[in-house]
Structure 1
């Protein structure tokens, strides 16, 4: 769920929260490839909901059969199986699948920091990154809102309406940013990060 929180810290939060899961070098595609290489479908199954196990198993059997027909067939089978597992993983998240992203796609600093925390057990660097991002985002939006407060809150003439509108927009942007972070934190606590493959 850290990726949900990190996404909430970015202005606009337009990218899917778990976008790194759909890259060629992401954890889901990597598990799919390892499953094929070791001939063990179980390595891929945890990355999708239990309801998807039958489809993944069928795809695994088909891809494994095709892989032995030469290098080109192997590459196509590998790619197809990775796409299948990633698509089903994304469906389990309730997110659309738009294809595999290329290896090396930059998803920003939060995901690598979260992965390092998982590898080392050290949360302090990740907490520092998130705290800095939250503080920066709040300070920036608060500054804009305070500057906009030079405009009247209650316009007395038509000429003052555009300025008042700018003030209202800046104040709401600040409040909505804070509420978005609060909701992300509440959501992470409620879900406990238990979703498959997150």
Structure 2
């Protein structure tokens, strides 16, 4: 199974109490309940299939067990990301900067506390930072194109995705924390054509 099959498409995190909708898509129990709110008429956030009656959701115990096994394995396989700037012995990175295209340890992150770099997009440290940056424009992927179902940068909306329905990534994933989305983005990313 691919890593992204363990991710809820609403929170973009590994499933917690996964449930299946009648159309066959899986979501975290809390995510889908929050998404539907108090509405009696609901639709699948992924395929948009409408359900005339609110589906009764039950935890998919098989998927939950597979996800738990995956979580345990990924903790064992996890290793720390190192600073790109350190010379000699590299220190453990604290943040990756989408604007600089580098990952920084505590010492090298200092310039990002001053005005010039304060507005840079910092995310939790990642190994493949290029997956978070538009390959065409070399800018952070901050928007989601609903027409093409892909992440795009601001410059993409002036070209290939002009007049498309684009929204901030955090709006698409139903959260206000874009930082959380970016930490999970590399498994969801679609490259710009």
Same fold (TM over 0.5): no
The structure with the largest strand share of the pair is: 2
After TM superposition, the score normalised by the length of structure 2 is 0.27
> Relative CO higher for 1 or 2, CA cutoff 8 Å, sep ≥ 6?
1
Larger radius of gyration: 1
Length-normalised TM-score, structure 1: 0.26
